[in-house]
Amino acid sequence: MNTNPTTTVMENDDDVAAPVLLSPLALTWRKFKRHRIAYISLYVVGLIYLMAIFGEFLTTSDIHKTSTRRAFAPPMGIHLFAPNEDGSSRFQLHAKGLKLEIDKVAMRRVFAEDEEKIIPLGFFVKGYEYKVLGLFSSNTHFFGPVNPRDTVFLMGADRLGRDIMSRIIIGTRVSMSIGLVGVIVSLFIGVTLGGISGFFGGWVDNLIQRLIEFIRSIPTIPLWMGLAAAIPLSWPPLKTYFVVTLIVSMIGWTSLAREVRGKFLSLRYEDFIIAARLDGLSNMEVIRKHMVPSFSSHIIASLTLAVPLMILAETSLSFLGVGLQPPVVSWGTLLKEAQNVRTIIEAPWLLIAPATMIVVAVLALNFLGDGLRDAADPHAH
């Protein structure tokens, strides 16, 4: 009781160097880095967002360029050595052209590799014109056919003969940004309502809880289907995009609000919060200086985990044909092309290529969020 020495400030003759103490943020970061998969995922997510920003630079052909002769063209392999005329071979990245043949037995057309036609490939080649960040024009592409008139289908073509890989790259923009915008919307609503609910309690809490309960108890897919089906087909793509984002963010905020509320409720009677109040801090100050910092890491982790949910939501809706509509290119609208088993068996790349992309993006975001949450976990040793 009274044996705790009150430390009177005296000359410090302590000759023992105190160990360097890391700030909480640095500690979290160190713990995060130890979670290898999460750490790698950070870079993967970064790369995917870079891809979303500089999409056109990475594409090999214009995503709207159709070619009926190339409908359902299979993925082309990249070959390293091209034969010279004299029979020797030289190093030249290239793909082989395709020719149409008729399979007499199955009575349908099939593509075969045309050994004669060589499509040379290279880095930083000239291609179709596009705008970087919507600001300045360029026609340089990272990788593609050296001759701009050639087309190459590294991941195959769809039923209109459009390049799947380019479409996936461009689709990244819509799909990934829906996740991001949706999360910002839900962060705003969730933290505000959750905070109010948890901090003030009483009837306000009750009202907000009923609202959340209401929204959560409606199965999302039928609700979204209903809402999304109400979007007139005549709307401009941008408007549809924002409405879909709003619909999608309707899930995110409720769980976030619940989490924030829970934290507020459990923190409300913690000693350090009561102490802060007794020190005369206003409600806002208590929230800002003491409560939010004590759970912000959890919020960041939850946000990261909400992004993939929204990406999946958009994908599901667009897949059903009630979300984004073509010609908008998103991973969901790409998957819509692979809606029945027959098509998939005919052209599996229609399913596999965008599906892989979705899984990679969602996995990376999940690992990242999980790593962040683990790093922020105060109980973890």
Partner 1 sequence: MMGFCLRRILYMIPTLFLVSIVTFVIIQLPPGDYLDSLAADMGESGSDNTAVIETLRQQYGLGQPMYVQYYKWMKGILLYGNFGISFEKNVLVTDLIWDRLGWTFGISILTLLFIWITALPIGIYSAVRKYSFGDYTATFFGFIGLAVPNFLLALLMMYISFKYFGQSVGGLVSPEYIGEPWTYAKFIDLLKHIWMPIVVVGTSGAAALIRIMRANLLDELYRPYVATARAKGMSEFQLLMKYPVRVALNPFISTIGWILPSLVSGEIIVAVVMNLPTTGPLLLRALLVQDMYLAGSLILIVSLLTVIGTLISDLLLAWIDPRIRYQ
Partner 2 sequence: MQPTPMPTDSMAPDIAKAEGLPLLEIAGLKTQFFTDDGIVKAVNGVDLSIYSNRTLCVLGESGCGKSILARSILRIVDAPGRITDGSIVYRAADGRTVDLAAARHGSRELRSIRGNDIAMIFQEPMSSLGPITRIGKQITETILLHQKISKAEARETAIELLDKVGIPKPTERFEAYPFELSGGMRQRAMIAMALSCRPRLLIADEPTTALDVTTQAQILDLIDELKEELEMGVMLITHDLGVVAEVAEDVAVMYMGKVVEKSDVYSIFENPQHPYTRALLESVPRIGVTKRDRLPAIRGMVPHPLATPSGCSFRTRCDSYMPSVCDKHQPALVEHEGSQVACFLHSRETADD
Residues at the site binding partner 2, with contacts judged by CB under 8 A? 1-8, 10, 12-19, 22, 30, 381
Among 218, 246, 274, 275, binds partner 1 (CB under 8 A): 218
Quick one: what does residue 248 bind among partner 1, partner 2, none, with the CB cut-off 5 to 8 Å set by partner type?
Answer: none
What is the distance between the alpha carbons of residues 315 and 312, in angstroms, rounded to a whole number?
5
Among 303, 353, 358, 376, binds partner 1 (CB under 8 A): 358
379 in contact with partner 1 (CB under 8 A): yes
Quick one: what does residue 315 bind among partner 2, partner 1, none, with the CB cut-off 5 to 8 Å set by partner type?
Answer: partner 1
Number of residues in contact with partner 1, rule: CB under 8 A? 47
| Helix pair 292-320, 349-376: axis angle to 10 deg | 170
Closest approach of Cβ 2 to partner 2, in Å? 5
220 in contact with partner 1 (CB under 8 A): yes
* Helix (H) or strand (E) segment spanning residue 143: strand 136-145
* Residue nearer to partner 1 on the CB measure, 110 or 230: 230
Among 226, 235, 272, 346, binds partner 1 (CB under 8 A): 226
* Residue nearer to partner 1 on the CB measure, 234 or 282: 234
Closest approach of Cβ 265 to partner 2, in Å? 15
Q: What three-state secondary structure class fits 123?
A: strand
* Residue nearer to partner 2 on the CB measure, 15 or 116: 15
- For residues 138 and 48, is the Cβ–Cβ distance under 8 A? no
What is the distance between the alpha carbons of residues 12 and 16, in angstroms, rounded to a whole number?
10
Place of tokens 């759970």: 295
Among 50, 230, 246, 274, binds partner 1 (CB under 8 A): 230
* Residue nearer to partner 1 on the CB measure, 105 or 341: 341
* Letter string b/e over residues 210-232, b meaning 16 or more CB atoms within 10 A of that residue's CB: eebeeeeeeebeeebbebbeebe
For residue 115, report the phi and psi dihedrals to the nearest 5 degrees.
Answer: -60, -25
Place of tokens 């005919």: 346
What is the distance between the alpha carbons of residues 45 and 33, in angstroms, rounded to a whole number?
15
* Helix (H) or strand (E) segment spanning residue 15: none
Quick one: what does residue 367 bind among partner 1, partner 2, none, with the CB cut-off 5 to 8 Å set by partner type?
Answer: partner 1
Among 131, 210, 288, 289, binds partner 1 (CB under 8 A): 210
What is the distance between the alpha carbons of residues 124 and 218, in angstroms, rounded to a whole number?
51
* Helix (H) or strand (E) segment spanning residue 224: helix 220-229
319 in contact with partner 1 (CB under 8 A): yes
* Residue nearer to partner 2 on the CB measure, 8 or 68: 8
Residues 271-310: x/- map of binding to partner 1 (CB under 8 A)?
-------------------------------------x--
Structure tokens belonging to residue 187: 């962060």
Quick one: what does residue 225 bind among partner 1, partner 2, none, with the CB cut-off 5 to 8 Å set by partner type?
Answer: partner 1
Torsion over CA: 43, 45, 49, 55 (sign): positive
What is the distance between the alpha carbons of residues 27 and 22, in angstroms, rounded to a whole number?
6
Cα–Cα distances in angstroms (integers) from residue 34 to residues 53, 193, 371, 375, 379, in the given order? 29, 35, 9, 9, 16
- For residues 252 and 182, is the Cβ–Cβ distance under 8 A? yes
* Helix (H) or strand (E) segment spanning residue 90: strand 89-103
* Residue nearer to partner 2 on the CB measure, 342 or 379: 379
Quick one: what does residue 282 bind among partner 2, partner 1, none, with the CB cut-off 5 to 8 Å set by partner type?
Answer: none
The footprint of partner 1 (CB under 8 A) covers 210, 213-214, 216-223, 225-227, 229-230, 232, 255, 308, 312, 315-316, 319-322, 335, 338-339, 341, 344-345, 348, 351, 355, 358-359, 362-363, 366-367, 370, 373, 377, 379-381
